[in-house]
Amino acid sequence: MIRPATPADVPTIVSLIRALADYEKLTHEVVLDDDRLREHLFGPRPYAEVLMAEVEGRSVGFALFFHNYSTFLGRPGIYLEDLFVLPEHRGHGLGKALLVALAKLAAERECGRLEWAVLDWNEPSIRFYESLGAVAKKEWIIYRTTGEALAKLAERN
């Protein structure tokens, strides 16, 4: 079953984020805290939304996403930040169900696209996404500033 997350799901979402980071070999980058995530998902100005995947009443996967905007299309889009299903629950259609639910939400909200990034070594996910009709945008390079570089950029005149 796929359902929207509620504030009560925050500890489970944090646990799933940590499991995702472990899978991606990025646990050293996880510095989030429950209260800030709760505020960002369910506070007065939500920055993101989450869908939960459940099996027999237990949350075993999630999709965290937010809106972006395509100036070329003149329409909003949905950016999927994280999609994760616990290893013991993979291969049963939960990842596909989460993506289908997001695609339906994108259609309901009149979005022009649904997009996400995947680590280049993650062959199982790449094959999965391509099997659903997703296309890699290899001509684009992602840039990011964080931490001190972001602070310095913000201080520029």
Which residues are identified as catalytic? 129
Bridging pattern class, strands 75-85 and 113-116: parallel
